[in-house]
Structure 1
Amino acid sequence: MTDQNEKANKPDQTNSTENSEQQSDVADVAQQIDADLGESVERIDNWIDSGIELLPNIILGIVLFFVSYGVGVFVKRLVKRQLLRRDRDNLGEMLGSLLKWIVILLGFLLAATIVVPTLNPGDMIAGLGVSSVAIGFAFKDILQNWLAGLLLLLRKPFEVNDQIEASGFVGTVERIETRATLIKTFDGQRVVIPNSDIYTNAVLVKTAFDKRRSQYEVGIGYGDDIEEACEIIRKAIEQIEEIEKDPAPSVLAWELAASWVTIRIQWWTNIHRSDMAEVRASVIIAIKRALDGAHIDMPYNTQVTLLHDQTETTDGDRGAQREGWPAPKEGTTQPRWRMQQNASNLNHDKSD
């Protein structure tokens, strides 16, 4: 009986032991959670306390940043206003933007040192220098175009509304930006040329001076008087108001061509008062009217083509045309190869 009671009590003891172990594990987990929660709450309290302590610095840093932003905007407007008086608004826009961002960056660095006093301005500037080198390699083309644009605005090889020829395009300069120069072509298209290409390559400025020379060539017949034709042309173009009197237009006999005598006409016009294309059209019309009125021929290119019959059927007697060719027999024709063979035999007989 006792053995049976002991066997019955053993499962109860085992269950109680397992329950106690589970309760102990739950208690340990609860204690760990309480400890972690307490640590987190304590950490949050510390952050709140630190934030409250740094709140004046944070407010001061934010105020300083916005003040630096306002100062940067003011500096930009001031620079633009000063350079606008000198008719250099594009340079004012570029320099103003550069100074604005420099002021904002300095304000940000100063605000950061106020909010976080442990930050060292020297270390920040050194880190900024390393970062700027990396950024410079990454944005090499952009920085190169920006620097080229700044140099173009400082040195002023050309200005807005100038007519230039660059990178194979001809047109009027619309705007010089930080990255590229905008050109409006004469047929109403816009071309964007990178500033680095313009700065490193040749640029033809067509409106760099007040006066500009143009030229045109016309041909007269070999039977006409050259001096008379030159004088007629000179008097005709001198009647055009847009052509400058000083320097006077020149009319020169320039070349003896295949079918005519070439005469070159050169004249000067004021680029600010005249349209070059319209003046050129007026010159051509005046020359044509003057030469037609004087009955001076303006020959066009002619070409003469001689057709030769290879079969000799309609070409006549080759022997009569060229010395050394044997005459064909009456009523017969000879192909070219036979005639050449006969001529060779004839020359051989003569040498013998």
Structure 2
Amino acid sequence: MFDFSQDDASKYLNDYIIPFAIDLAMAIIIFVIGKIVVKVLVSVLGKLLSKANYDNMLVEFLKSIANAILMLFVIVAALNQLGVDTTSLVAILGAAGLAIGLSLQGSLQNFAAGVMLLVFRPFKAGDYVDAGGVAGTVKSIGVFSTVMNTPDNKEIIVPNGNIYGGNIINFSAKETRRVDMVFGIGYDDDLRKAKALLETMLKEDDRILQDPAPQVAVSELGDSSVNFVVRPWVKSADYWGVMFDFTEAVKLRFDAEGISIPFPQMDVHVHKNEA
């Protein structure tokens, strides 16, 4: 049997129980107050990012990262109050973070690229872009990948690292685009008449903008044709419609006006070898 006197109990209470209870209470207070402070700081951060018109997905993600980092400091402070050696804990967490980072290099690259895309916003959902080796309409921009729909309605998930590491062509960034077309006529055809017809057709199409003025010019005296460049400006949404419709209209108009459109031909000469 242990001889545990009243004096020993009082000494044990004063030396161990009460100090530990005080440290535990202080640790709980630090944790509770720290959690409240973290919540306030994260809320302020979210409001500042929202006022800066950052993407909502990026705002929520940065808030969660900030919350995790700040709460880690609060937990370390609370454990330190309890007398736990937090130096070793921080070293272990650092080593674990390094190991995870090395094993997820590709994912971290995509993550960093996703953050940059959401911050600098070279394109947004709904834009038609050529990026990461894929051309299509942007459906959504995630932290690790971007989802696109191709013109033939295929859904393609592109890693953000591929997109941010190459050229990004945004066809929807500007309100207007220039349509570049080339039409050839024969050398025997009336050049001035053909040019006047093209200029008239450009004025007749309501989708074609007159400011900046469309351009019609002779660009080349080719091997079998005199080539015109036709460069009208249109709204971005009308680009493909104008290109397809105008090309068809030029063929029909030239046929009606007796203007030829040369095409490649090959002459085959057969030599008969008589025995």
**Separation in 2, partners of 1:219, 1:112:** 81
Q: Counterpart of 1:194?
A: 159
**Separation in 2, partners of 1:259, 1:174:** 46
1:275 aligns with 2:242: no
Q: 2:172 aligns with which of 193, 199, 207?
A: 207
Q: Counterpart of 1:97?
A: 64
**Separation in 1, partners of 2:60, 2:102:** 25
1:169 aligns with 2:134: yes
SS at match of 1:305: coil
1:147 aligns with 2:112: yes
Q: 1:133 aligns with which of 98, 105, 117?
A: 98
What is the CA deviation profile of residues 112-148 of structure 1, one whole-angstrom value per residue up to 9, with x for unaligned ones?
445xx23133432233222222221111111111112
| Residue identity in the other structure for 2:56 | D
Contact 1:80 1:89 in 2 (8 A): no
Q: Classify 1:164/1:262 alpha carbon distance in 2 versus 1 (closer, same or farther; 3 Å).
A: same
1:247 aligns with 2:212: yes
What is the CA deviation profile of residues 136-169 of structure 1, one whole-angstrom value per residue up to 9, with x for unaligned ones?
1111111111112112222222233222111321
**Separation in 1, partners of 2:46, 2:138:** 20
Q: Counterpart of 1:343?
A: none
What is the CA deviation profile of residues 46-80 of structure 1, one whole-angstrom value per residue up to 9, with x for unaligned ones?
xxx99xx77x949x759948x84x87777667655
Give TM-score, length-normalised by structure 2.
0.79
SS at match of 1:193: strand
Q: Counterpart of 2:267?
A: 304
Contact 1:164 1:170 in 2 (8 A): yes
1:262 aligns with 2:188: no
| Residue identity in the other structure for 2:61 | M
**Separation in 1, partners of 2:217, 2:266:** 27
SS at match of 1:141: helix
Contact 1:94 1:150 in 2 (8 A): no
Q: Classify 1:209/1:306 alpha carbon distance in 2 versus 1 (closer, same or farther; 3 Å).
A: same
Q: Classify 1:74/1:296 alpha carbon distance in 2 versus 1 (closer, same or farther; 3 Å).
A: farther
Instruction: Tell me which moved more, 76-85 or 196-205.
Output: 76-85
1:182 aligns with 2:150: no
**Separation in 2, partners of 1:222, 1:229:** 12
Give TM-score, length-normalised by structure 1.
0.63
**Separation in 1, partners of 2:262, 2:210:** 30
Q: Counterpart of 2:252?
A: 289
**Separation in 1, partners of 2:254, 2:111:** 55
Q: Counterpart of 1:34?
A: none
| Residue identity in the other structure for 2:67 | K
Instruction: Tell me which moved more, 75-84 or 225-234.
Output: 75-84
- Residue 170 of structure 1 deviates from its aligned partner by 0.8
Q: Classify 1:267/1:223 alpha carbon distance in 2 versus 1 (closer, same or farther; 3 Å).
A: same
**Separation in 1, partners of 2:211, 2:139:** 31
Contact 1:72 1:101 in 2 (8 A): no
Q: 1:230 aligns with which of 195, 199, 202?
A: 195
Larger Cα Rg: Structure 1 or Structure 2?
Answer: 1
Q: Counterpart of 1:19?
A: none
Q: How do 1:6-155 and structure 2 match up within 5 A? A: 57=24, 64=31, 68=35, 79=45, 83-84=49-50, 86=53, 88-113=55-80, 117-155=82-120
Gaps of 5+ in 2: 1-15
SS at match of 1:217: strand
| Residue identity in the other structure for 1:91 | L
**Separation in 1, partners of 2:99, 2:76:** 19
| Residue identity in the other structure for 1:127 | I
Contact 2:216 2:229 in 1 (8 A): yes
Q: Classify 1:75/1:287 alpha carbon distance in 2 versus 1 (closer, same or farther; 3 Å).
A: farther
